[in-house]
């Protein structure tokens, strides 16, 4: 098997690569990543010398490069994670999301179709997507695989569009595909622009914790290694032309999550109880902020036996420990351009 993984130097992609390299020594794993601000080869230091691993630096938007590598390496499977992934950045620069998330995905679909069109057997295009395509829930209900798409941010609109293209290639050309839509991930190697790692970093630095709006927004959190295990399972055992929702059965209002994080950080940093909570600052809301996401993950559970294995308390503690033990990683990703982003976003 020659497997192309896109976005493997990012948060979730690096956990997927590590898992596949270890579990499938007979696969050749190719990691294609443009190394944007979110991509970091440090995330893969421990496996970079593995004999079944190759890193390819390139942009999924670059048509001739993508066609060239599909021919050269004769991929028979693709796990597509590369994306612009941060909602706040999509609000200030929507076109970047159109380019990578829509155009880049269609480029990959074309290359796969061209290479595989005479024989689709034993081929698979796996598109990793998000629960945000379903829009926002009220206080009741869960997202099912059949929930109508209703994206609200430029990020979720671009992911929804890419999902539609994947399905269209399946229907129109017979391309074998599978799509998963997952809830909010957290864990080691998460870029500190997202809620949990941003707040861990700010607590370490004694900076304000900017809670958007009234903090009552709800997300369903899943430990990243559980997502990587689900991706492995769906890639190998998921049914063709199917969608699977993946979630943590773990809903938290932002403010409750932040308070839990503050309590755990106080203990880890040996600070008096209540120290970190004093940093909480309510700030202007995110425009178009989705109230609530929650996944019904019973299809993947019933068909493939998957369920989360890490509780939120365990996962959060492992995450905090990782950030405290990897200060160099945190310092390197929060220097330079990050400072400019932070000022623009929060000052």
Residues that bind ligand NAD (CB under 6 A): 6-7, 9-13, 33-36, 38-39, 59-61, 81-85, 100, 104, 128, 130, 159, 182, 184-185, 191
Q: Angle, nearest 10°, between helix axes 224-237 and 11-23?
A: 60
* Contact status: 86 vs ligand DAU (CB under 6 A): yes
Nearest C-alpha neighbor of 306 from the set 218, 220, 235: 235
Q: What is the C-alpha R_g of the chain?
A: 20
DSSP code of residue 104? I
Give me the least distance between CB of 288 and ligand DAU, in Å please. 11
Phi, psi of 320 (to 5 degrees): -60, -45
11 is in the binding site of which of ligand NAD, ligand DAU, none (Cβ under 5 to 8 A by kind)? ligand NAD
Told to check if 194 binds ligand DAU by CB under 6 A, we report yes
Helices (H) and strands (E) in the chain, counts: 13, 12
Q: For residues 246 and 300, is the Cβ–Cβ distance under 8 A?
A: yes
Q: Are 127 and 164 in contact (CB under 8 A)?
A: no
Quote the least distance from Cβ 12 to ligand DAU, whole Å: 9
The structure tokens listed for 200 are: 């861990």
Q: Out of 166, 175, 195, 200, point to the residue binding ligand DAU (CB under 6 A).
A: 195
340 is catalytic: no
Which among ligand NAD, ligand DAU, none contacts residue 294 (Cβ within 5 to 8 A by kind)? none
Any contact of residue 147 with ligand DAU (CB under 6 A)? no
Question: Which of 30, 126, 134, 155 is an active site residue?
Answer: 155
Sole binder of ligand DAU in the list 130, 158, 162, 334 (CB under 6 A): 130
Cβ atoms of 335 and 201 within 8 Å: the answer is: no
Q: Please pick, from the candidates 191, 217, 249, 306, the single residue that binds ligand DAU as defined by CB under 6 A.
A: 217
Query: Quick one: 5 or 211, whose CB is closer to ligand NAD?
Result: 5
Contact 175, 120 (CB under 8 A): yes
Selection from ligand NAD, ligand DAU, none that 179 binds (CB < 5 to 8 A by kind) is none
Find the part of the chain contacting ligand DAU (CB under 6 A) among 85-93, 117-125, 309-317, 323-331.
85-93
132 flagged as catalytic: yes
Parallel, antiparallel or unpaired: strands 280-283 and 209-212: parallel
Q: Among 210, 242, 303, 318, which residue sits at the site for ligand DAU (rule: CB under 6 A)?
A: 210
Query: Which residue number, 129 or 264, has a Cβ lying nearer to ligand DAU?
Result: 129
Q: What are phi and psi of 52, to 5 degrees?
A: -100, 20
Is residue 131 flagged as an active site residue?
Answer: yes
219 binds ligand DAU (CB under 6 A): yes
The answer to whether the beta carbons of residues 293 and 219 sit under 8 Å apart is: yes
Strand partners, 78: 4, 125
The owner of tokens 């991930």 is: 185
β-sheet with 184-186: strand ranges across: 184-186, 218-223, 251-253
Residues that bind ligand DAU (CB under 6 A): 85-87, 130-132, 183-184, 194-195, 198, 210-212, 217, 219, 254, 286, 293
Task: Give the catalytic positions in this structure.
Answer: 131-132, 155
């Amino acid at each position: 098997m020659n497997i192309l993984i896109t976005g493997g130097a990012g948060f979730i992609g690096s956990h997927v690569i590590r898992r596949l390299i270890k579990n499938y020594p007979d696969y050749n794993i190719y990691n294609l990543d443009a190394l944007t601000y979110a991509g970091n080869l440090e995330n893969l230091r421990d496996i970079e010398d593995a004999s079944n691993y190759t890193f390819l630096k390139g942009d999924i938007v670059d048509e001739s490069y993508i066609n060239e590598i599909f021919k050269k390496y004769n991929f028979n499977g693709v796990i597509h994670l590369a994306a612009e992934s941060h909602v706040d950045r999509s609000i200030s620069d929507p076109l970047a999301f159109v380019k990578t998330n829509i155009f880049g995905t269609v480029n990959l679909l074309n290359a796969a179709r061209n290479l595989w069109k005479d024989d689709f057997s034993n081929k698979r295009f796996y598109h990793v997507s998000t629960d945000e395509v379903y829009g926002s829930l009220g206080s009741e209900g869960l997202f099912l695989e059949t929930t109508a798409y209703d994206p609200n941010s430029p990020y979720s609109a671009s992911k929804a569009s890419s999902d539609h293209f994947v399905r269209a290639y399946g229907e129109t050309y017979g391309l074998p595909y599978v799509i998963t839509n997952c809830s909010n991930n957290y864990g080691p190697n998460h870029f500190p622009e997202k809620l949990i790692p941003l707040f861990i970093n700010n607590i370490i630095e004694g900076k304000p914790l900017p809670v958007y709006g009234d903090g009552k927004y709800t997300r369903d959190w899943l430990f990243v290694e559980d997502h990587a295990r689900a991706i492995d399972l769906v890639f190998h055992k998921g049914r063709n032309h199917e969608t699977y929702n993946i979630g943590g059965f773990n809903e938290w209002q932002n403010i409750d999550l932040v308070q839990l994080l503050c309590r755990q950080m106080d203990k880890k940093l040996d600070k008096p109880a209540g120290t970190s909570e004093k940093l909480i600052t309510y700030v202007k809301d995110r425009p178009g902020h989705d109230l609530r996401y929650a996944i019904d993950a019973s299809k993947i559970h019933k068909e493939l036996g998957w369920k989360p294995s890490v509780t939120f308390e365990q996962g959060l503690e492992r995450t905090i420990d990782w950030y405290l033990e990897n200060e160099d990683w945190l310092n390197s990703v929060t220097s330079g351009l990050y400072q400019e982003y932070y000022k623009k976003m929060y000052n």
